[in-house]
């Protein structure tokens, strides 16, 4: 789900970027990247785990009373209304919508074939693909805040194993804390040439957890030099969804 495969035998720079991003992208905390100065998603991690554990126990205690809590209404995702409309150029672009709880995270740093994150209650994944551009919105609700935190932490851990894919081009993954929800991170996947300069092709992702929900916003395209503005839309979307999920019973 995190790979955009292009037709034919070859791929463009973006095609390679997105294909390899499926193996190397993650909303992840790399120890070196997050060492010092990242209290929200780094030094605060132990506190997050502690609070998530308390919420986990509370969530389990009320599980019988709120078994249906967290069910996603139709049209709940930010891009869902758009995704359900016919596209303007069907021969070149398309949306896909999946409600499978076992859908892989669209942030899949090591290219895992099976889904990760146990305890899923509901999920919805939207994916848009067009020539040289790909974006995805995914929302997963877990049985407890502890389960959601564990899934978030699992995504973060993967980048330590899959933070580089040798090419050419070489793809590098970098993560940085984001102030959103209960915990969040933004992730850069970028192609680099033999001279070490940024090449064409990359992916920019923001992943956020709020209560029992985990939301991921991915955009991939003809990125070059990494800029903070690359994450503007994804960060805005992540913060908006982090607030919106609290309208679902029992999620926050």
> What are the C-alpha distances in Å from 163 to residues 25, 42, 129?
7, 17, 24
- What pLDDT is stored for residue 117 in this prediction? 80
Boundaries of every domain in the chain: 13-247
> To the nearest 5 percent, what fractions of the chain are helix, strand and coil?
35, 25, 40
Cβ–Cβ < 8 Å for 18, 203:
yes
Q: Stretch 10-30: mean pLDDT, rounded?
A: 35
> What are the C-alpha distances in Å from 14 to residues 28, 36, 69, 227?
22, 33, 39, 17
Longest dimension (CA), the chain: 59
Would the pLDDT of 58 be above 50? no
Categorize the per-residue pLDDT at 39 as very low, low, confident or very high, splitting at 50, 70 and 90: very low
Q: Strand pairing partners for 130?
A: 133
Beta strands in the chain (DSSP E): 94-98, 120-130, 133-142, 164-165, 170-177, 183-192, 198-210, 213-221
Cβ–Cβ < 8 Å for 163, 21:
no
- Residue from 144, 149, 99, 155 nearest 119 by CA: 144
d(CA 196, CA 32): 20
Report pTM: 0.75
Would the pLDDT of 242 be above 60? yes
Q: Tens of pLDDT along 96-128?
A: 999 999 999 998 877 888 777 889 999 999 999
Task: Give backbone dihedrals phi and psi of 6, rounded to 5 degrees, phi first.
Answer: -90, 150
Q: Strand pairing partners for 98?
A: 125
Selected residue with higher pLDDT from 233 and 171:
233
Where does 13-247 sit in CATH, by number? 3.40.1000
- What pLDDT is stored for residue 68 in this prediction? 53
Cβ–Cβ < 8 Å for 191, 202:
yes
How many Å separate Cα 71 from the centre of its chain?
Answer: 20
- What pLDDT is stored for residue 166 in this prediction? 82
Q: Stretch 13-29: mean pLDDT, rounded?
A: 36
Would the pLDDT of 206 be above 70? yes
């Amino acid at each position: 789900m995190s790979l955009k495969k292009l037709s034919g035998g070859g791929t463009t720079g973006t095609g390679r970027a997105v294909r390899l991003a499926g193996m190397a992208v993650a909303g992840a905390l790399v120890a070196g990247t997050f060492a010092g100065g990242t209290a929200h998603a780094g030094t605060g991690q132990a506190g997050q785990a502690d609070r998530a554990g308390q919420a986990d126990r509370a969530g389990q205690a009320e599980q019988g009373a709120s078994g249906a809590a967290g069910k996603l209404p139709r049209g709940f995702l930010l891009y869902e209304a758009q995704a359900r409309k016919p596209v303007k150029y069907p021969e070149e672009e398309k949306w896909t919508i999946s409600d499978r709880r076992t859908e892989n995270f669209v942030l899949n740093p090591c290219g895992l074939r099976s889904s990760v994150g146990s305890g899923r209650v509901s999920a919805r994944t939207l994916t848009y693909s067009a020539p040289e551009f790909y974006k995805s919105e995914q929302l997963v609700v877990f049985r407890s805040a502890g389960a959601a935190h564990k899934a978030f932490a699992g995504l973060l851990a993967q980048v330590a194993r899959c933070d580089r894919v040798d090419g050419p081009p070489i793809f590098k993954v970098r993560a940085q804390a984001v102030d959103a929800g209960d915990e969040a991170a933004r992730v850069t996947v970028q192609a680099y040439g033999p001279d070490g300069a940024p090449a064409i092709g990359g992916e920019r992702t923001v992943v956020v957890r709020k209560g029992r929900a985990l939301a991921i916003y991915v955009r991939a395209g003809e990125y070059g030099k990494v800029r903070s503005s690359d994450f503007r839309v994804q960060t805005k979307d992540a913060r908006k969804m982090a607030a919106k999920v609290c309208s679902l019973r029992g999620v926050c």
